[in-house]
């Protein structure tokens, strides 16, 4: 029978150990081994049984057991010490405080708070509110912001059934289950009013319906994470289910999720400030387009509170908004029918100050190749974000190509989308054995703080090799446990599973492959030649073993078929001791996979991998990458930190391309990877392999850390966005009004702007480096004034088609003005390059409030 009602009864902790509640509720424990050790000390067996969840552990203790712990003076002292350590962590100045002080002293200023919006957050397996890389990245961002002292407030949704749990049936087909999560049994607390009633966020829905949401708070170190939950008694059934599943439901439910995330998220931040006195964010960061409606809510706020028009409020909002795109494929972008947007934001649902036609224009695909009548969340994100970025250098290139239609007339490299390459949170992903090794031989486990990366070679190689074997053995044990559990769910009896005790071997070259399973990630590329893969697995002298994991979206039948192909191959009794597919890839599994693998395999279809941070986590654990040159690997592969799988770029036949790249993969494993792993000296050490590990840690270590990433965001994006926002606000928002008026004037008058005539002089018939070219340009500006534009000479290497590359821009100065809005500009520059040379002249909008000269997408070329 089923309960008609359920609730959690919270443990009351005796006063001497009451701080255990604080330690359990702050998710810092998930990346702080001493705190986890303290909870394990209570009852190691029960700690394992509750899957290392402090809240569940405390709930499982009886009053008598708690009283015994409270009477144990040694344990009480350990709790007090752990609480004191947490208090110090939460309050001491860290990197951001020093940076902010320097900014203040320079008169630039630093943001007091940053709102970070994401549809998913992967903090710990205890809080399953993530599906893949986007959520894991968001979780690492928050944890690292906490470590650095960056004043971020996270905003997301609480999904009652999270993302699905994956299992397999007898035929190897993916099965999904959705266990119901009880927020009262999780490390969460509900935001409440002074009278103890739950705080409520309310949005209007079509048909006079109301969407109410409670707000749960997870404390991620120093960073609060606010999660909105629509499972509220006052909602109708459909509204209660809006936050039922991550990425669940159809178009309307997804739209309403994103309305709650963006609009409700801003309201949750206002609520948080009212309850706690926390400052309102100076910067709003939307992690992918799902939260784009936050800009709509902020425009609404400003039109109502500051008497701004839509365009003026838009400028104030854009200036302080950062948009990060994570997808390199159009299919990964949320798009809605414009009629659905009108239904939710027009008519009786109209948002005061935000006319629905203006909202529709923000997401309209009104560019070549776009689809009329569609509302594109990424396009809205770019139009609402004064600063935008991709998540690796290559992804920045791909993103500029994807969205160049928004900036017609500009070359792709001038499209205003920068890049900040992702990083990973070492405290979460680096095995504690690695830290112990660093402590023992380098005197520190914080290699970044103590600048110890260059001292990696001081760690004895035999110690590195022994540690790597320990981590490999740890993975083997875990893989056997998970494989046995999986086969039981597939219907096998214990009597059939004796073979599981012999799968994998801690002394064999171990290759890992784990990720989501969309088609472009090519889970089954390694199966293109099954016979050859079998030979590699069973090689008598240099065998390999494969540990594979990955989930397919429940609606992706093709992805499920790929998983089934892999599972059926791995089920073959001839090779099943050398290859395993582990269901339900999540944070808990990953923390065994990354340390235990010698090689991390990644073979996406280039260039569709935005970043691919799993290989970074493997690298920090002494793993070597074997990857297509895509995402971060394209940027940081140097020939000594792993292997690059050659790509068959230009081959249009997809099947042939896969065959060629699979053959290249087999060749690398057979002729380079395996021989180096098994090439050992008289002491049994693979010296060349160990050299690659040391080189990887020394060179990649500082780059792949999320601390580098969050500092990059802070310095390159958050600081400039805050300063841009401050420049436009103030009591009257004079800056926003001025910028909006300027943009209106420029757009209205740009059709009259053109370059009439260009003259040049000063160089000989056979120009040489060092000669000075004098350029004189006559331009018509219509009603615009010379100080409202930038006239530039653009020069570079000229191709046969006269297309310029490797361009540089030099401003031309106003010489004189004539009647009819005509003006003369001129300037000199020295020739500094040999070879084919070309130049042109162009006119661009110019205003101190523009984040880039290409922001408006307006240019007049000669």
Predicted confidence (pLDDT) per residue in 676-712, tens digit: 999 999 999 999 999 999 999 999 999 999 999 999 9
Sign of torsion, CA 226 232 236 237?
Answer: positive
Closest CA to 587 of 290, 183, 181, 163: 163
β-pairing, 209-220 vs 223-229, is antiparallel
d(CA 441, CA 435): 10
**Per-residue model confidence (pLDDT) at position 165:** 95
Task: Give CA 125 to chain center in angstroms.
Answer: 18
Using DSSP bridges, classify how beta strands 579-582 and 599-602 pair: parallel, antiparallel or unpaired. Answer: unpaired
* Rg over CA atoms, the chain: 29
CB 407 within 8 A of CB 857: yes
DSSP-derived secondary structure letter, 558:
H
Which DSSP string corresponds to 409-449?
A: TS-GGGSS-EE----B-HHHHS-HHHHHHHHHHHS-S-TTT
Determine the Cα–Cα distance for residues 446 and 463; give it in Å rounded to an integer.
19
* Cα 137 from Cα 808, distance rounded (Å): 35
Q: Which residue has the tokens 């793993």?
A: 623
Beta-carbon contacts of residue 351 (< 8 Å; ≥ 6 apart): 296, 300, 345, 359
- Coil/strand/helix, residue 756: strand
Q: DSSP labels for 489-503?
A: HTT--GGG-GGGGGS
And the tokens for 531?
Answer: 């016979």
> What are the backbone angles phi and psi of residue 678, rounded to the nearest 5°?
-90, 0
Distance CA 35, CA 20 (A): 10
Interacting residues of 862 by C-beta distance below 8 A, sequence separation 6+? 755, 758, 777, 840, 841, 842
Burial class (CB in 10 A: 0-12, 13-18, 19+), 742: buried
pLDDT of residue 810: 92
Average pLDDT, the chain: 95
Residue in 753, 683, 142, 659 with CA at minimum distance from that of residue 460: 683
Q: pLDDT, tens digit, for every residue of 296-348?
A: 999 999 999 999 999 999 999 999 999 999 988 777 899 999 999 999 999 99
Integer CA distances (angstroms), 527 to 76, 173, 315, 585, in order: 56, 17, 52, 20
Phi, psi (5° rounding) for residue 833? Answer: -145, 150
* Both structure tokens of 537: 């697995």
| Token duo for residue 284 | 């709003």
To 5 degrees, how large is the angle CA 774–CA 779–CA 781?
A: 145
The secondary structure element, H or E, covering residue 73 is helix 73-91
Please report the pLDDT score of residue 562 as a whole number. 97
The pTM score is 0.96
- Counting every residue written for the chain, the total comes to 862
C-alpha distance from residue 193 to each of 22, 196, 223, 663, 798 (Å)? 21, 5, 21, 63, 66
Q: Low-confidence residues of the chain, pLDDT below 70?
A: 1-10
d(CA 609, CA 411): 23
Which 8-state DSSP code applies to residue 128?
-
Within 607-699, strands assigned E span 624-628, 642-645
CA neighbor of 621 nearest in space, from 460, 428, 429: 429
With CA atoms as reference, report the closest residue to 570 among 593, 548, 543, 587. 548
Q: CB of 232 within 8 A of CB of 158? A: no
861: closest CA among 847, 846, 848, 842? 842
- DSSP labels, 817-852: E-GGGEEEEEEEEE----SSEEEEEEEEE--TT-SS
Output phi, psi for 274, to 5 deg: -65, -40
User: What is the distance, to the nearest Å, from the Cα of residue 794 to the centroid of all Cα atoms in its chain?
Assistant: 35
Residue carrying the six token digits 């840690």 = 697
Provide the 3-class DSSP secondary structure of residue 680: coil
Residue 162 has phi, psi (to 5 degrees) of 55, -145
The token duo for 301 is 């706020």
Q: How far is CA 616 from CA 424, 548, 604, in A?
A: 7, 17, 16
- In the chain, the largest separation of any two C-alpha atoms, in whole Å, equals 97
Across the strands, what pairs with 391? none
pLDDT value, residue 3: 62
Sheet with strand 813-817: strands edge to edge: 754-761, 772-780, 822-830, 813-817
Cα–Cα dist 660/645, whole Å: 10
Dist CA 692 CA 673 (whole Å): 11
Paired tokens of 441:
């031989």
- Distance between CA 825 and CA 814 in Å, rounded? 4
Q: Are 625 and 599 in contact (CB under 8 A)?
A: yes
Given a contact cutoff of 8 angstroms between Cβ atoms, the answer to whether 543 and 509 are in contact is: yes
Angle at 664 between CA 659 and CA 667, to 5 degrees: 125
Inter-axis angle of helices 734-749 and 719-728, nearest 10: 90
- Exposure class string for 619-628: b at 16+ Cβ within 10 A, else e: bbbbbbbbbb
Residue 486 buriedness (CB in 10 A; 0-12 / 13-18 / 19+): buried
DSSP designation for 812 = P
pLDDT at 650: 86
Pairing of strands 335-337, 152-157: unpaired
DSSP conformation class of 241: G
């Amino acid at each position: 029978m089923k309960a008609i009602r359920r609730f959690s009864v919270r443990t009351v902790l005796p006063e001497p150990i009451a701080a255990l509640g604080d330690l359990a509720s702050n998710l810092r424990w998930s990346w702080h081994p001493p705190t986890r050790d303290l909870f394990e000390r209570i009852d190691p067996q029960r700690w394992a049984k509750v899957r290392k969840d402090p809240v569940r552990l405390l709930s499982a203790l009886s009053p008598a057991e708690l009283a015994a712990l409270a009477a144990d003076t040694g344990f009480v002292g350990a709790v007090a010490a752990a609480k004191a350590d947490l208090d110090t962590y939460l309050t001491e100045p860290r990197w951001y405080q020093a940076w902010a002080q320097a900014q203040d002293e320079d008169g630039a200023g630093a943001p007091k708070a940053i709102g970070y919006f994401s549809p998913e957050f992967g903090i710990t397996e205890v809080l399953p509110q993530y599906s893949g890389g986007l959520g894991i990245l968001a979780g690492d961002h928050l944890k690292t912001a906490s470590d650095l002292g960056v004043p971020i407030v996270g905003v997301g949704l609480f999904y009652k059934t999270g993302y699905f749990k994956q299992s397999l049936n007898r035929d190897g087909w993916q099965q999904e289950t959705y266990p119901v999560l009880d927020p009262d049994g999780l490390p969460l607390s509900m935001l409440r009013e002074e009278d103890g009633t739950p705080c409520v966020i309310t949005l209007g829905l079509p048909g006079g319906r109301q969407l109410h949401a409670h707000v749960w708070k997870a404390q991620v170190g120093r960073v609060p994470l606010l999660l909105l939950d629509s499972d509220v008694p006052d909602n109708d059934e459909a509204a209660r289910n809006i936050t039922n599943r991550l990425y669940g439901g159809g178009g309307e439910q997804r739209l309403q999720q994103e309305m709650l995330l963006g609009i409700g998220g801003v309201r949750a931040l206002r609520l948080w400030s009212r309850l706690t006195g926390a400052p309102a964010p100076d910067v709003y960061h939307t992690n992918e387009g799902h939260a784009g409606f936050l800009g709509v809510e902020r425009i609404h706020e400003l039109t109502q509170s500051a008497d701004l028009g839509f365009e003026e409020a838009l400028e104030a909002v854009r200036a302080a908004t950062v948009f990060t795109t994570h997808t390199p494929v159009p299919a990964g972008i949320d798009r809605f029918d414009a009629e659905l947007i009108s239904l939710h934001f027009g008519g009786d649902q109209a948002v005061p100050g935000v006319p629905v036609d203006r909202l529709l224009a923000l997401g309209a695909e009104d560019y070549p190749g776009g689809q009329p009548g569609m509302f594109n969340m990424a396009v809205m994100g770019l139009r609402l974000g004064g600063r935008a970025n991709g998540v690796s250098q290559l992804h920045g290139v791909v993103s500029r190509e994807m969205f160049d239609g928004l900036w017609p007339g500009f070359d792709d490299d001038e499209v205003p989308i920068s890049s900040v390459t992702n990083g990973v949170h070492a405290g979460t992903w680096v095995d504690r054995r690695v830290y112990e090794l660093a402590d023992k031989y380098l005197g520190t486990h914080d290699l970044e703080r103590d600048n110890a990366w260059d001292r990696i070679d001081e760690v004895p190689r035999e110690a590195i090799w022994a540690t790597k074997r320990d981590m490999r053995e740890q993975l083997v044990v875990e893989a056997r446990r998970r494989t046995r559990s999986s086969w039981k769910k597939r219907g096998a009896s214990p009597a059939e599973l004796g073979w599981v005790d012999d799968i994998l071997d801690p002394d064999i070259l171990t290759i890992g492959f784990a990720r989501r399973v969309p088609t472009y990630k090519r889970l089954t590329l390694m199966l293109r030649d099954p016979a050859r893969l079998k030979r590699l697995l069973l090689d008598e002298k240099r065998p390999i073993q494969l540990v594979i994991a990955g989930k397919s979206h429940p609606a992706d039948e093709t992805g499920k078929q790929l998983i089934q192909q892999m599972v059926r191959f791995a089920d073959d009794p001839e090779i099943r001791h050398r290859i395993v597919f582990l269901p339900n890839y999540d944070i808990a599994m990953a923390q065994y996979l990354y340390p235990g693998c010698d090689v991390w395999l990644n073979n996406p279809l280039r260039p569709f991998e935005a970043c691919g941070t799993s290989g970074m986590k493997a690298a920090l654990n002494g793993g070597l990458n074997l990857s297509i040159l895509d995402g971060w690997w394209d940027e940081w592969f140097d020939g000594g930190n792993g292997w690059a799988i050659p790509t068959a770029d230009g081959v249009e036949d997809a099947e042939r391309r896969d065959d060629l790249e699979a053959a290249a993969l087999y060749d690398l494993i057979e002729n380079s990877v395996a021989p180096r792993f098994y090439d050992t000296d008289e002491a049994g050490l693979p010296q060349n392999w160990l050299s690659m590990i040391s080189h990887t840690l020394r060179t990649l270590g500082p780059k792949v850390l999320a601390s580098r990433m969050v500092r990059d965001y802070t310095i390159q994006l958050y600081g400039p966005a805050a300063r841009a926002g401050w420049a436009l606000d103030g009591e009257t928002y004079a800056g926003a009004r001025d910028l909006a008026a300027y943009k209106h004037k420029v757009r209205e008058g740009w059709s009259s702007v053109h370059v009439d005539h260009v003259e040049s002089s000063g160089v000989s018939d056979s120009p040489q480096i060092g000669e000075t070219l004098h350029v004189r340009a006559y331009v018509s500006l219509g009603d615009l004034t010379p100080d409202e534009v930038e006239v530039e000479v653009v020069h570079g290497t000229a191709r046969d088609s006269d297309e310029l590359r490797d361009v540089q821009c030099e401003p031309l100065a106003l010489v004189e003005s004539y009647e009819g809005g005509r003006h003369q500009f001129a300037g000199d520059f020295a020739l500094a390059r040999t070879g084919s040379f070309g130049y042109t002249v162009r006119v661009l909008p110019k205003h101190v409030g523009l984040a880039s000269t290409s922001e408006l997408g307006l240019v007049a070329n000669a």
